[in-house]
Each structure stands twice: as C-alpha cells, then as structure tokens.
Structure 1
Amino acid sequence: MEEKTVVLDQAAINRALTRIAHEILEKNKGGENLVLIGIKTRGVPITKRLQEKIKQIENVTVPIGELDITLYRDDLEKSAPTNEPELKDTNINVDLTNKNIILIDDVLFTGRTVRAAMDAVMDLGRPAQIQLGVLIDRGHRELPIRADYVGKNIPTSDNEVIVVKLDEIDQLDQVSIFQK
C-alpha cells in the first residue's frame, strides 16, 4: 500500500476529540448515566482520551470499558477458517442496565463491527440507549448504522484504506489515506 495523504495530524485529532466530548455532553445533558465503551483495538485509547476531556469539561469521571467483538463477528469462518480467533479481553466493570452507552471506534466503514459491538453490549446488560462515536466515517455502509458523533467524514473509494495511528499503540497520532 502507498500512502496518499495525511488527513489528520496530532492537533487535528485532538480538536476532533474535544468537539466530540462537547457534543456527547450536550446531547446527554451532562456526563451522568453515561458509559463510554471502546471497541478494541484503537477505540480503547480514543475512549480514554474522551473520558479525560469530559472530566476536564464537566469535572465528572465517566466510567469506561473495553469491548472485544471477536466472537460476535459475522466473518469468523471467512477470516480464520482453520485458526482459532485471537481473543482480547472485554473489560467492563459497570452495570450497563439503563445507562446511555456510547460505543467508540476509530473508523466507521461497513457498519459490521458496530453491529457486532451492539450484540456484545446487549449480552452484558440492557442499556437505555446505545450511541456511536467514531474518529473517522469513511462511508460504504452495508448496514443501516450511522454515527452520532464523528470526528471527520472522509469519503473514500473502494481501493483506498484509512489508517489510524494513535500514540498509545503506534507512537504517533495520525490519520492517513492509503492506496491499495
């Protein structure tokens, strides 16, 4: 793959997450009754950053969790027919019943990851509401899913790939478009 362009640098990512934090608080009338859940892998550090921004804005610590959707994917047989799927930990230490859950991921593409995440959340409790926040929405939905909070809309072609790098994992904050 060849890098075409960098669409967000560290400062732009920070501004987008600050805006998302304000939008979350505005839509939910504050930080009470919220739980932020990051979809592994890059949704988790984004969730932690949003938790910190909400604390700075409202002085409330919103509970967070980490969600592994591996066993909920609809393409398990296709992606690893002979291998066992690699499981990561789901770590949610709060009762989700009657809470406003905000799923957080790095890129919204077909919607299949979000569908799997909603299934996983419903197995853990019965939230009052599930909302979705993403750093990037690149279009190409296969399911009727849309994000409530979007850092940046980046329309892409089928032969382009969005690559999100975050300091906590990649030692760099950057969103790029690559050509397949």
Structure 2
Amino acid sequence: MPIVSPHRLDPLVDGRQSERAMRVRRGVQRLMSAARVALLPEMPLDSGRRADLVGLTEKGEFVIVEIKSSVEDFRVDRKWPIYRLHCDRLYFATHPDVPLDIFPEDCGLILSDGWGAEILREAPEHKLAGATRKAMVLRFARLAADRLQVAEWAANPYMTGLPEAS
C-alpha cells in the first residue's frame, strides 16, 4: 500500500504561509534532510504555539527553525523566545532579500534560496531537561504517525472516513 497520497491533501499548509516562506522552508528541508535531521513542519507545542519546523537529529537533539520571510514578519512576531523551551537549538531561516542583522546573535541563522540553504551561524546549544525531551519525543512521534496514517488513508480507495489530521 502506498504511504504517500497522490491527491492534494496538505494539512501542513494552512494558508497562513506566504509563497516566499514556503520557498525558504523547502530549502531548509533539503539542508536538514542532507544532514539526516527528521523534520515535521507546523508542529504544535505544549506551550500552545506552533513551530514552523521541528527537527530531530540522529543524536536525539531537537532543533526548531523559525522562518521569517520579511523584516515585518520578524518585527510583529514576538513568540519565538518561547520556542527555546522546546529545543536544544533555535534557528531563524530567511532568504537573501531580508537583512541578516535583524536576527538575534544568540540564535542560529540559516539562509535559504528555495532550492537549498546554508547555516550562516550555528545555534548555541541549550540542553532540554529530561522530562521536556521525553514529552517532545512523544509529541514528535505521535504527530508523525498521525500524519502518515492520514496520508495512507487518503491513498487507499477502500478506506472511508479519514481520521482527523493533527
């Protein structure tokens, strides 16, 4: 049974993301995939926020990548400090038309052209507490499994009544 839907079922794009932000995301996803970091886009967190990209490294470390497509996008969004509570490393990702000096020095910085991306500044490490890490692993695994199930159900013509996507 195929695990990827041939139909346009995209719960990971809810209309809030601009075309430019989606291009930045694509480049970051390619970079992280090459580094063998498993990614989930639009992951809800215990704090009630939703991270643009959450990655799980082969070492079991969590990274969060906050995508900013413009200066205004960065200025109006002040929720990003909360993301530090949910990751070992926090990055901002943007594109070449955004001035890089607006991003805080104590966060990593990724530049994406939509086809690829490059880490310009590594994110400093701040280790998660054991209980937080366990909660994040469970949330990450359950969300990935839920999304896979939705994709499989959508691809199977014999299944009726799709499960709710997370």
TM-score by length of 2: 0.30
Which structure's relative contact order is higher, taking Cα pairs within 8 Å and 6+ residues apart?
1
TM-score by length of 1: 0.28
